[in-house]
Chain A
Amino acid sequence: AQKVTQAQTEISVVEKEDVTLDCVYETRDTTYYLFWYKQPPSGELVFLIRRNSFDEQNEISGRYSWNFQKSTSSFNFTITASQVVDSAVYFCALRMNSGYSTLTFGKGTMLLVSP
């Protein structure tokens, strides 16, 4: 069975600080997909990124960056120069490589960015 662990329940930072959200996953499969979603107070889960298990290249998108390390089964998410609008709950998720496979979510990390 697969599992996603987000050990940080809540993180508080001050605007412009950098913050890293941790994600550790467990799976026996060699091919799988990892995701990050953002959930603002409105409730909608907003897709941020998908990473394939066979592509360990790190990715940067503006202030966001992701560090995928297969050796440690981690897929961490860093926000550089955080802003108040980044305040949300962030979820890491895992999907197996089979049709109609579901997303297995971590418990989420609540990020509070204060001015």
Chain B
Amino acid sequence: KAGVTQTPRYLIKTRGQQVTLSCSPISGHRSVSWYQQTPGQGLQFLFEYFSETQRNKGNFPGRFSGRQFSNSRSEMNVSTLELGDSALYLCASRLTGLIVTDTQYFGPGTRLTVL
């Protein structure tokens, strides 16, 4: 079974630009979560989607948004990029978000560098 895939793996952008990251969950998984990882803040939760609806959201500004498609694939968008947005963005999938014992499986991440 294929794991969680994320594209692109690496991105370089400049301040003020916007970026879209993509995540394809494990086949059969319908919940997708996004996390930001930085050296200073560690791993921080961004949002979770299930059945094309955002179910939970972390403490990030409105510049960070996401969506989920009917095939469970998800995208996240960051507008008006800032230097501090440079990070590894990790996507995780699980069967549903409703069953707390569902384990989240992570993708390899997208490394975003903002210059």
Contact = CB atoms under 8 A, between A and B. Distances in A.
B22 interface: no
Contact of A102 (B58, B106, B108, B111): B58
Q: Interface SS of chain B: helix, strand, loop or mixed? A: strand
Given A99-B99, A106-B42, 14 more contacts: A43-B88, A43-B108, A43-B109, A43-B111, A44-B3, A44-B108, A47-B105, A47-B106, A50-B101, A97-B100, A99-B55, A99-B98, A99-B100, A102-B58
Contacts of A96: 100
B55 A33 contact: no
Query: What is the size category of the interface that chain A forms with chain B?
Result: 20 to 34
A30 interface: no
A64 interface: no
A100 B55 contact: yes
A66 interface: no
Nearest to A49: B103
